[in-house]
Amino acid sequence: MYISMNWIRDYVDLSGLDLNKLIHQFSLSTAEVENEIFYKGSDLSGIVVARIVSVENHPESQKLHLLKVDIGEEELVDVVCGAPNVRVGMKTAFAKVGAQIGEITIAPRKLAGYTSCGMCCSEKELGISEDNSGIMDLDESLPLGKDLKEIFAIDDIIFEVDNKSLTNRPDLWGHYGIAREFAALAGRELKPLDTADLTCYKDLPALDIKIEDNDCLRYSGVQFDNVSVSVSPVNMRIRLYYCGMRAINFLADMTNYLMLEMGQPMHAFDSRRVEKIRIKKFQKPFTFATLDKVERNIDENTLMICNGDEPVAIAGIMGGLASEIVADTTAMTLESACFDPVSVRKSSARLAHRTDASQRYEKTLDPEMTVTAIARFVKLLTDIDSGAKVVSCLTDVYNRGYECKTLTIDKAYVDRYTGIGDAITNTHIENTLKALGFTVKADNGVFEVTVPSWRATKDVTLKADLIEEITRIYGYDNFLPQTAVSPLYPVRMSLEKSVEEQLKDILVKRFSLHEVHSYVWAYYDEYRKLGMEVEDNVKLLDATNPNLETLRRSIVPTQLCQLKGNTGYAPQFGMFEIGRVVDGLKPDGMCKEEKKLAITLFSKTETLEQLYFRLRDMLAVTVNEIKHQPLSFQKLEASHSYQHPKNLNGVYCDGIYLGEMGVVHPTVSKKLDKKAAIVYAELDVLALSQIENAGIHYQEASRYPGMEVDLTFLSDTFAPIRDAISSDLITNVKVADIYRGEEGKAITVRLTFSSMDRTLTREEVQAVTDDIIAKLAQQNIRLK
Amino acid sequence: MNSGVLELRNKLDSALQQAASVAELENLKVEYLGKKGSVTALLKEMGKLSPEEKKSFGSEVNALKDYAAQAIADKAELLQKLELQKELDAVEEFDISMPPVLDRGSYHPVTLVQRKCEEVFRTMGFTVEDYSEIVTDYECFESLNIPKFHPARDMQDTYYLDNGQLLKTQTSAAQNAIYKKYKDALINEGKPIKAVFPGRCFRNEATDACHENTFFQMEGVMVGKDISIANLIYSMKTMLSEVFENYGLKVRLRPGFFPFVEPGFELDISCQICGGEGCPSCKHSGWLELCPCGMIHPNVLREGGIDPDVYTGFAFGLGLTRLAMMKYGVKDIRDLNSGSLTAMSQFFDDK
């Protein structure tokens, strides 16, 4: 919203103050001001009132005229002018030689063979309106040679307030409310609005107004006749233009002017179209043509203004085309109403049509304002158009309003919030609240505060709301920062959190993996391209993008999709993510959200088996590092499209299932890369964090020499060998070699024997190895 | 000189001349100076000599012995030097200009920024809390003083789920649970609540270089007796100076409207690029809007089981994703969730 400082100064005397500083203060105390401030008229000088003395047609041009212009100096000035509306005797705005218009300095120059010593100007050329239909047609009474800036309010400072910072301040949607803030900030008086006394019309006939729906809080109206002015005064048009509004015609400009001044949207109807004003909703949907000539679909929730049963306007949003003020309109009915903010917001969203009016109603406008706005309108109208007549009494139907709130705070309450004690005095509290329109009864540090109606619609309801008023006007920059004092106590990191951080460090630092982030939903298209199913799960409601609708049950498919774009990154790499998945619903209907660690390894340089064991060892090292416990693995049945039917294992620690690791199914794998080996793992972070940390158990090294024995068995798997090895004397078991020969797979185990209290004899060791060999022989596993 | 001695000495000289390895010298040593060596053998001829001859012969043989030992040792030293030189010559000078192979992993940039922030807050006595990504309407709105039909619910386009829950639109969704978790310690033991809770948030909006539907925030709260606006300003300035490692950092508050705080503020920091002078990146204002904050709304405290007439507190929300983008100059927010290793592999440990 654009704010004119001239307009503000109508209501607060800011003389002697630095306006730029005040605007900055406003930004820090009230609402955000955009950085760029416009100094209107600052690039305009030397524009004077001139009279056109003679007009001759240019001999060779249809458009151009050769004028002699009187600017109140000794000699007439020759001007070449292309405006269509030139006429002898007309007074207009004239840029003298040496005048400044924006970046242009006016100098004598040849135009189509004739010298032009200056320029007659349109309002658009002067930057004071959009009107470029012709040069300005000024009032006959204006003295020749008078500087235009002394006649019209061309010089102004305009700044823009970020609308988003006004959402909670319905009172700031007009200049008068902003002026109140400036008055409070500057410590100056806010002048009252100049309004007409409406009681003198009380004997005139009333309008027929009935509110038939509770979404209308108040509907006030008055009827006028004999309005003869059709073009708004220049100063009014300049203000509208500077504030970003187009001048339309006098009445439309008046309603806009009032809205910009007071924040009260208004609407003028042709009185013939609104004889019986009814505010209501319709059971059945229909279409309705609005002023902007658009047919709109109206449903049963949209509040309408009607003439009897015939809709004439969408309440709080826009008037109808059929009830518009037209050329032969003589009487017009002015609406000044208040509607329910939620109703207007929803209708406006439904119609996808947000207007200056609906934008204001959404903020919960003050219903007390409707009548004042009419009084202000009548005053302005009759000032400008002395022939205009009020032909009805003020008709006001007040359906419902907001509670008048009184809050009591004391100095101690303020001090507790501010923390700066007597830097904010009782006087400051009282004066600030009064300046902002609150009624204050102060009694020795206790303040009984009545909230003004324009702040009471939703903004100020609690004592804490008053703190904001007091502190923002005091200025947050004036606060002395102070540390809070608190007792000492240890800050512990949650187990899950520290496990998460450990996981990241180990995977990045030790295994050179890359951490990535992804999205929590399944991407249908990308899954399909890789031959993976989107598994049924909790869904987004009203998903706008059908490609992302279902939440993921596992990070693995997500990561495989991400892998797709990375297959050229390096011949071998790994990536991981710690993220959330949803495993359906819990019995109470809530999502079963789980935090998972997913790892994918990709390699073009290793065999699938090598890569799988690298992943296996990576998991074993990682878990061992964090929990000092070994992992175990069990074969799993494949149940997802990306899982390999053979090489899929459950990962266990301390008997607890942590998750799975597997080879990616070849159909998926080949779509990612025809030659590469791809494996994955997914572990539950919470389950891992809850495993007991086995700790470090120090054992002294034996003082007696140990002994190593290699045994080679013909066996397809290591498991039976592992299970057969059990002796206190064996301190380490390693697979020294695997050999696939004619006799089948041969596994060489290297056993380390050692004892804390003696040097072992060959016989002792032999007894143990014999026992192992015998046990395995029973399972038909023989020594090679 | 005795002809035998002379002969042997000449023989030794020529043998030493020819010796090409330390091993050969070892053999020569045995051959000449060993118990059965030729020098020792010369002494056996002593018996045939007169006592005078014996004397001069003996000293000549001893001199030969010393000479032989020295000559062999000298030659050995020479050969050792030569062999060492040969070994040195055999090794090429390595081309150190070859590029190093780092082959290191990488952290997600949000992890790096999050760790930095967590560390700052932990050192100042804040606990770091984890919270779910899927929350209820109560957690995300109702408990935060955002009743139904409140425009704030429109302001944040929410991903609702078909079971009635929703993807949290803001880390504030954890506030209520944090208050309930720590209120007893606050009330009974006088321990102020000091917590930060980082997390992933979601907004149902179209994505472009500046907008993402999935991003990270970090919320922080401090609740205790007499926590004031002056405390908020001090804490924010101190913490943000640490986060940005800029100890001249300036902060300022402006009024801001958020339903869960009253008074609410927009906090600006002095522009990190120009230091407050004004530059294109801060639109010449010298300030950068960084984070919303405020005094926790009495209704929010009450809903968390804390009496707002006894306790006050402040809350703030930092955009971790935005901080990461600012810190590392990431221009397109979508890079962060793309999984592209070309992009992500550039972020190493950054303590």
- Which residue of chain A comes nearest to B165, CA vs CA? A590
Owning domain of residue B76: 3-90
Q: How many other C-beta atoms are found inside a 10 Å radius of the C-beta of residue A600? A: 27
| pLDDT score for B154 | 63
- Does residue B195 sit within a domain? yes
CA separation for the pair A677, A614 (Å, rounded): 12
- Which residue of chain A comes nearest to B122, CA vs CA? A491
| pLDDT score for B62 | 85
| pLDDT score for B155 | 55
The pTM assigned to this predicted structure is 0.88
| pLDDT score for A281 | 97
Superfamily of domain A707-778, CATH level 4 = Ferrodoxin-fold anticodon-binding domain (3.30.70.380)
| pLDDT score for B47 | 76
Q: Record the tokens describing residue A565, joined without a space.
A: 């774009």
CA separation for the pair A704, A21 (Å, rounded): 87
The answer to whether A714 and A781 have CB atoms below 8 angstroms apart is: yes
Write the residue in B134, B162, B336 that is nearest to A593 by C-beta: B134
Return the residue in A172, A469, A515 with the most chain B beta carbons within 10 A, the one to mutate for interface testing.
A515
pLDDT above 70 (res B236): yes
- Does residue B104 sit within a domain? no
- Does residue B51 sit within a domain? yes
Helix A426-435 × helix A175-186 angle, to 10°? 160
DSSP annotation string for B280-347: GGGTTSSEEEEEEEEEEPHHHHHHTT--TTT-EEEEEEEEHHHHHHHHHT---GGGGGS--HHHHTT-
| pLDDT score for A343 | 95
B196 and B147 within one domain: yes
B192 and B135 within one domain: yes
Q: Which residues of B touch A508 (CB under 8 A)?
A: 104-107, 349
- Residue at a domain's end among B60, B90, B120: B90
Q: Which residues of A touch B151 (CB under 8 A)?
A: 167, 345, 362
B323 and B228 within one domain: yes
- Which residue of chain A comes nearest to B256, CA vs CA? A165
Indicate the number of domains in chain B: 2
- Does residue B100 sit within a domain? no
Topology alike, domains A2-41+157-186 and A406-473: yes
Q: How far is CA B280 from CA A28, A67, A674, B326, in A?
A: 21, 48, 49, 15
| Architecture field, domain A199-398 | 3-Layer(bba) Sandwich (3.50)
Q: Do B162 and A544 touch (CB under 8 A)?
A: no
Q: What is the CATH number of the domain that holds B148?
A: 3.30.930.10
B133 and B66 within one domain: no
Q: How far is CA A387 from CA A140, A377, A409, in A?
A: 20, 15, 52
Q: Which residues make beta-bridge pairs with A313?
A: A305, A319
| pLDDT score for B156 | 56
Q: Which residues of B touch A544 (CB under 8 A)?
A: 204
User: Could you tell me if A567 lies within 8 Å of chain B, comparing CB atoms?
Assistant: no
Q: Which residues of A touch B233 (CB under 8 A)?
A: 476, 479, 481
Query: A406-473: which CATH topology?
Result: Phenylalanyl-tRNA Synthetase; Chain B, domain 1 (3.30.56)
pLDDT above 60 (res B4): yes
B45 and B134 within one domain: no
B113 and B86 within one domain: no
Q: Which residues of A touch B129 (CB under 8 A)?
A: 494
Residue A557: is the preceding peptide bond cis (ω within 30°)? no
Q: How many other C-beta atoms are found inside a 10 Å radius of the C-beta of residue A238? A: 25
Handedness of CA B177, B180, B186, B189 (dihedral sign): negative
Superfamily of domain A44-154, CATH level 4 = Nucleic acid-binding proteins (2.40.50.140)
Closest to A7 (Cα-Cα) out of A263, A291, A308: A263
**Amino acid occupying residue A469:** E
Q: Are strands A208-211 and A276-280 parallel, antiparallel or unpaired?
A: parallel
| pLDDT score for B204 | 87
The answer to whether A644 and A666 have CB atoms below 8 angstroms apart is: yes
ipTM of the complex: 0.89
The domain segmentation of chain A, as residue ranges, is: 2-41+157-186, 44-154, 199-398, 406-473, 495-690, 707-778
- Does residue B99 sit within a domain? no
- Does residue B96 sit within a domain? no
| pLDDT score for A166 | 93
Q: Do B108 and A517 touch (CB under 8 A)?
A: yes
Q: Tell me if the domain spanning A2-41+157-186 has CATH number 3.30.56.10.
A: yes
Q: Tell me if the domain spanning A495-690 has CATH number 3.30.930.10.
A: yes
- Residue at a domain's end among B35, B61, B90: B90
Return the residue in A516, A520, A539 with the most chain B beta carbons within 10 A, the one to mutate for interface testing.
A516
B140 and B73 within one domain: no
Confidence of residue B277 (pLDDT cuts 50, 70, 90): confident
- Residue ranges of chain A with pLDDT lower than 70? none
B45 and B160 within one domain: no
- Does residue B351 sit within a domain? no
